[in-house]
Amino acid sequence: MIQGTASHVGKSIVVTALCRIFSDMGVKVAPFKAQNMALNSFITKDGKEIGRAQAVQAEAARIDPCVEMNPILLKPTTDLGSQVIFMGRPVGNAKAREYYAMKERALDVIREAYESLCERFDLIVLEGAGSPAEINLAEQDIVNMRMAELADAPVILVSDIDRGGVFASLIGTMTLLPDQQRERVRGFLINKFRGDRSLLAPGLKQIEERTGKPVFGVLPYIRDLRIEQEDSVALSEKKSRSMEPDGKVRVGVVRLPRLSNYTDLDPLEGDPGMDVIYVDDKETIRGLDVVIIPGSKDTIGDLRYLKETGMAHAICDYSNNGGQVIGLCGGFQMLGKTIEDPHGVESAKSAEAGLGLLPVETVLEREKVTAQVQAVSMDGLTNLTGYEIHMGKSIRLNGCSGMFRITKRNGRSVDEEDGAQSPKGNVWGTYIHGIFENAPIRRRLLDSIRKGHHACSSELTDYHELKSREFARLAGLFREYVDMDAILQAAGLG
């Protein structure tokens, strides 16, 4: 089991690296995270919702993601509450104390999922959440040491040196753990180191002397690692100001307070002809070549944020002057005339006027749509795959055309229009996530924007090949800087 001294120290990346390394060795390995809190999610082949990190880790392990890899997913809707998802299906919204009352039920769900994986795989790499030393929450723990004990798993503790305080974090965490849990920790990994490793030697020696545990390795700071992340801290590190003009297409992603599934935009960041920036002020809008409003877990709340900050007005002016605006899922809903939430599934406000850029009306419903889909563009020229995660149903008005036609949903043949597009074609929206992983869609986006004054490259990255290379790169660095013999011994593969 991989645990950490805090959030965003590198637990998910370490699990990803180990899944690829064990897969390279021919071990039938799977990832597992008992409880995940994230707004980035993924839909499995059977239409179940799990955390994006476990889907990426499964890809690294060369297996299909399944709901047992992340049996409980919490999607924050406010600072105090979250949508609670058990085995890929929502069971309601809850504040922290309400969720803690569900602990025994949650443990049963976790146990059954873990045991199911154990029957199908030779090795499970478990991931913790936050820190195991959150002493105020120790009694409610079901994802860190409680899970390690349930699985009888040895623990490797990861800490991030780039943010500072790595020695206090490791030694302090060990000090706060009860004796029995402290014994379960086999050793440490230090992540994101820059500089001369020899300068660390005195500190590493003190860690080992004070804790009696070895440091298994010091991983370097890996620049431009093209592997999706789901942590909100990773989102905060995205570029927020435009770069100097360099001939690239300037793609502006609106940084919503409850932005979800921002990994939808990762494929655009990997293309050499695009410069993706995250926009949080109205003045930046007019200097962009395309504006993308991403998904949201609080669509009405985030729409009101756009209005309060003046960004809504700026986006509408941009569109009226011919600028291209794209809405993904919740962003698509915001582009319409109205959003209604009569059942309070996301907001206490029952209705809100949209930006009015598409003749669409949306009603949020109790039942969540979760599906993998195959689709084709309305002109029949471009095939694509992706997935749906949405609570709403949108109705096109006045003969408005859809953007895509869904041909399969969770493997079943269907014939349904998705999304909408404006008569001029410069505004469109879709419910399909992962759409930009399809290179032909990125090509059409580039071609629709380029008007001769751009010198952007015609080359397009194969996103899946790019990720495969990045998995190999990550695994290679891990083998180089980590004592893999010690890891193999801990995993029972020595």
The answer to whether residues 33 and 7 touch, using CB atoms and an 8 Å cutoff, is: no
Mean pLDDT along residues 169-182? 97
User: Which position among 329, 400, 453, 464 bears the catalytic label?
Assistant: 329
Checking if the pLDDT of 236 tops 70, the result is: no
pLDDT of residue 122: 96
User: Is 470 or 224 the better-scoring residue by pLDDT?
Assistant: 470
What does the block give as tokens for 462? 């194969």
pLDDT of residue 443: 87
Q: At what angle do helices 11-24 and 52-60 cross, to 10 degrees?
A: 20
pLDDT of residue 447: 82
Mean predicted lDDT score pLDDT of the chain:
91
What are the Cα distances from residue 270, in Å, to 223, 228, 287, 313, 449?
13, 11, 21, 30, 18
Q: What is the pLDDT of residues 242-280, one digit of tens each?
A: 445 567 889 999 999 999 998 999 999 877 878 899 999
Q: What is the pLDDT of residues 1-51, one digit of tens each?
A: 999 999 999 999 999 999 999 999 999 999 999 999 998 999 999 999 999
Q: Which residues pair with 249 in a beta bridge?
A: 274
pLDDT of residue 488: 96
Q: What is the pLDDT of residues 294-326, one digit of tens each?
A: 999 899 999 999 999 999 999 999 999 999 999
Mean pLDDT along residues 450-476? 76
pLDDT range class, residue 453, cuts 50, 70, 90: very low
The answer to whether residues 474 and 227 touch, using CB atoms and an 8 Å cutoff, is: yes
Mean pLDDT along residues 358-368? 93
Mean pLDDT along residues 326-348? 91
pLDDT of residue 140: 92
pLDDT of residue 451: 56
Checking if the pLDDT of 237 tops 80, the result is: no
The answer to whether residues 44 and 66 touch, using CB atoms and an 8 Å cutoff, is: yes
pLDDT of residue 455: 45
Indicate the burial class of 140 (C-beta count within 10 angstroms; 0-12, 13-18, 19 or more): middle
- CB under 8 A, 24+ apart: contacts of 112-119: 112/71, 113/32, 113/34, 113/67, 113/68, 113/69, 113/71, 113/87, 114/32, 114/34, 114/68, 114/71, 114/147, 114/150, 114/151, 116/68, 117/30, 117/32, 117/68, 117/69
pLDDT of residue 309: 96
pLDDT range class, residue 231, cuts 50, 70, 90: low
Mean pLDDT along residues 202-212? 96
CB-based contacts of 183, cutoff 8 Å, min separation 6: none
Rounded distance between C-alpha atoms, residue 40 and residue 218, angstroms: 28
User: Is 244 or 200 the better-scoring residue by pLDDT?
Assistant: 200
What are the Cα distances from residue 427, in Å, to 106, 309, 383?
43, 21, 20
* φ, ψ dihedrals at 432, nearest 5°: -85, 115
User: Is 119 or 449 the better-scoring residue by pLDDT?
Assistant: 119
Checking if the pLDDT of 398 tops 90, the result is: no
Rounded distance between C-alpha atoms, residue 8 and residue 335, angstroms: 33
pLDDT of residue 239: 60
pLDDT of residue 238: 62
Checking if the pLDDT of 452 tops 50, the result is: no
Rounded distance between C-alpha atoms, residue 494 and residue 489, angstroms: 4
Checking if the pLDDT of 389 tops 90, the result is: yes
User: Is 448 or 126 the better-scoring residue by pLDDT?
Assistant: 126
What does the block give as tokens for 272? 């050499």
Mean pLDDT along residues 99-108? 92
pLDDT of residue 392: 87
Strongest mean pLDDT among 138-142, 237-241, 354-358, 445-449:
354-358
The answer to whether residues 227 and 471 touch, using CB atoms and an 8 Å cutoff, is: yes
Checking if the pLDDT of 203 tops 50, the result is: yes
Does residue 433 have an active-site annotation?
yes
What does the block give as tokens for 6? 């805090």
User: Which position among 433, 453, 454, 464 bears the catalytic label?
Assistant: 433
